[in-house]
Amino acid sequence: MCVDGDNKEWIMSVTEESLQADSGADCIGLELRKGDGTLLSLTADFRREVKIFRALILGELERGQSQFQALCFVTRLHRNEIIPSESMAKLRQKNPKTVRQAEEVRGLEHLSMDVAVNFSKGAQLSPHIHNVCSEAQEAIYTREEDVKFWLEKGVDGSMFEVLPQSADLPDLQRCKLCSDRWKPCICSYSLSIEWYPCMLKYCRSRDASGKVSSYKCGIRSCQKGYTFDYYVPQKQLCLWDEET
C-alpha cells in the first residue's frame, strides 16, 4: 500500500474499506476485507502508470492448502480511472462509519493475465510491487498488451515471462473443468472494488460581472468488478474455481 498518506475509512454494506493517499509519491491505496475473510487491495501508481491488485485468500487447510494464498495482478493504469492522489489526500469524511453505496456501477472487466512478473525485478515496473506483492512472489501476473506499453516506456523486458496458454498446450483446461488437482489449468479469480472515488465533480459559479467559472465540488463514486484468467501449474492452487 502507499505509505505515509492520510488514512480514511468507510464501512460498506458487505465490506470494510480503507483508503490511503500519498501525493508526494503520487499513488493511492485501497484495502477492503470481504465477509469470507479475503483481504483485497488496490494500489494505483500514477507516476509509473501501474495498477496493482492483491488478494490474500484464506486457504482450505483440510484440502492441503497453506493458511492463505496470495495473488497479485498488475495492469496498466489509464487516465481518469480514479481521482488523482492529490485530490484523494484532501478528502474528508464527516461520518467515516456511514454505509455508502457507489453512485455508478462500471462494467465487469475480464482480463487474460498471460505473463508472469519476476518479483526481484518488479521494482523497475513500480516500487510498490516489492511491498504489496511480497507474499505473492511466485504469483504476480500481468498481460501482454500492458507489457508492450511498458516496454515502449523503457521498462526492462527481462522481468516478464510469457505463460503457457491453451494454444501451446492443447490439453490445458479451465480449472473448473479439471478433475485432477495436480494438473496445470487456467484459473479464474474474480474480485470487486465496491466503492472508490472514480472522478471529480465540477460545479459552476457566476461572478458579479456574469462570468461563469467552474470549480471542484465533490467526487463521484464507482463500483467495478474484475475477473482474471491465468495459468497455474496445478489445480491445487485454484480450488475456489470449481463448478458447483
Q: How confident is the model at residue 100 (pLDDT cuts 50, 70, 90)?
A: confident
- Nearest Cα residue to 227 out of 196, 193, 199: 193
Rounded distance, CA 34 to CA 237, Å?
Answer: 20
The pLDDT assigned to 4 comes to 39
Average pLDDT over residues 133-150: 97
CA gap 22, 2 in Å, rounded: 6
* pLDDT at site 203: 86
Whether 98 shows a pLDDT value over 90: the answer reads no
Q: Compute the average pLDDT of residues 206-214.
A: 82
The model carries a pTM of 0.86
> Residue 214, Cα to own-chain centre: how many angstroms?
32
Closest C-alpha among 121, 228, 88, 24 to residue 129: 121
pLDDT at 160 over 90: yes
Tell me the sheet residues that pair with 212: 206
Percentage, residues of the chain above pLDDT 90: 57
The DSSP letter of residue 240 is: T
Q: Are 241 and 176 in contact (CB under 8 A)?
A: yes
Q: Compute the distance between CA of residue 176 and CA of residue 189 in angstroms, rounded to an integer.
A: 11
Identify the helix (H) or strand (E) that includes residue 151: helix 144-152
13-65 tens-digit pLDDT: 456 788 889 989 999 999 999 888 899 999 999 999 999 999 999 877 676 66
pLDDT of the residue at 211: 85
Whether 94 shows a pLDDT value over 80: the answer reads no
Ranges of each domain in the chain? 15-237
How confident is the model at residue 144, as a pLDDT?
A: 96
